[in-house]
A and B are shown apart, each in its own frame.
Chain A
């Protein structure tokens, strides 16, 4: 069933969303076409693609893609599907190769996706042209990168990557700047977690400051009841993270939520409100700060280290935590299935222990055994069960803070305890879904 513009518009009001937006296959298919089939999507980091022939496997929407670095240093985003019989060409997560050879009949493609060889060439009809686009791997027409973060768009036209990112460039800038050398290395290890609920649940949860006190109360109470002194084993980092969700009313009111055009959002002021504050005695941090001051000068270094943006959500598929050097990609699989892939960065030039902390942060937050994220996923699945089992009178509410939001300079809103990030996501969603143009 094709969904008309009027039908789609009727699914979202300024403060509510119809359940089918989370559960309906036709809505999901249209999202893959009009959102994931058009906007800039993060596909890889340059540190994964240093040499000619390096490739990584990624996804654009529900489709399997490869990002290759060719002999000219250009990045190509190619569909991972042989144009002969449809088999996947690369079956590893990453690697290096000069040619991609299909395991079925040895059709051979170069790093730009052009067909370079077929067996039994003499048997093909005279009109068979290896250089024809029909025989080349389908490629994303637009590929661009911002400070090492590679994005692709399946649309020929649309806003530039820089315009699409807008103020979210600040999150990438800050992450890169936190390396004294201005360079990041992405971890080889990735955690891949699937939850049985709609992809949008993840984003709506990301910058919601009310749920942690409820959803994460088991880990908060665990940390509070834990009497033992922190051991040098992890410098108390795990307990600190578990307790980091213990928002008192005053503390969460100190965290402002910035909701931006395009559905992007972030939290502002987590440090100021004491959460995740710097410890008084922290020799590792002292050493890192000294290196940063040497690299950038005192003023600039403290500017970089004190930038107080958290959970930077680049709608619709990327989340960046600059302070702890984390990256999370969100891939829709089906209306009720979502894949979340998480990795962390090494800050080139920073003390080794700074990377150990990023690794520990990734394990604590994003491993299958996370004491924090597991409860989020459980709640997403409850929402999915509730919405799937409802009649068509079911609407979700996103009105909290609607009358308290203040304008944010340059566009968007800012205020505490608000559901403005969700409202901005749906404003963007409606824009994409109804005319495909940038909202």
Chain B
């Protein structure tokens, strides 16, 4: 057998896939319900959260990114979103998202890490403006005593290098 799952290095084992799938769905639910503090807890202390500004971007230091945060910076972002003085979230945006095309990479990065690719569509409504974000995501998940945690999350927006309004929701 040499099917496409093997060509793409896709982990065929069902058990870990279901676990990862449920984890990503729960992450999506926390974001849609505005439970940002709990969402932040999903990340490891050394986590990186990255939304590149250029398709295929490999360098986060010499090339500007939409967001390139460690957990410390991400926690400021989360704190500000919940601040009552943040104009953009005074009327909290509502969103619903779907996570699909989940591929569990058969090549683990480290002994305890899982590499997961997924696609996300986020439909958001804020002050009567409707927006659609779509992206390819890459999670590196670490299996810890406290369950799965996100060691890094990279979000490649389909329209990362085009015109945006000055508000980017967390994905």
Contact = CB atoms under 8 A, between A and B. Distances in A.
Given A222-B80, A226-B75, A238-B73, A368 B167 contact: yes
A215 B63 CA distance: 29
Interface in B40-71: 51, 53-54, 61-68, 70
B146 interface: no
Given A187-B64, A356-B62, A359-B62, A222 B165 contact: no
A355 to B, nearest CB: 6
B80 A189 contact: no
A368 B164 contact: yes
A375 interface: yes
Interface residues of A, number: 46
Contacts, number: 114
B70 to A, nearest CB: 4
A359 B64 CA distance: 5
B53 A375 contact: no
A236 to B, nearest CB: 10
Interface stretch (B82-90, B93-101, B102-110, B135-143): B82-90
Interface stretch (A73-81, A122-130, A227-235, A259-267): A227-235
Interface string B105-133: 00000000000000000000000000000
A193 B70 CA distance: 24
A178 B62 CA distance: 18
B58 to A, nearest CB: 13
Given A359-B63, A363-B66, A368 B168 contact: yes
Contacts of B76: 222-223, 226, 238-239, 242, 371
A191 B79 CA distance: 24
Contacts of B63: 187-189, 359
B61 A356 contact: yes
Main SS at interface, chain A = helix
Contacts of A234: 70, 73
Contacts of B162: 192
Interface string A227-255: 01001011000110010000000000000
Contacts of A356: 61-62
A193 B64 contact: no
Interface in A191-227: 191-196, 215, 217-219, 221-223, 225-226
A369 B51 contact: yes
A367 interface: yes
A416 interface: no
Interface string B158-171: 00011111111000
Interface in A333-351: 339, 344
A12 B131 CA distance: 38
Interface of A: 187-189, 191-196, 215, 217-219, 221-223, 225-226, 228, 231, 233-234, 238-239, 242, 339, 344, 352, 355-356, 359, 362-363, 367-371, 373-379, 382
Interface of B: 51, 53-54, 61-68, 70, 72-73, 75-77, 79-80, 83, 85-88, 161-168
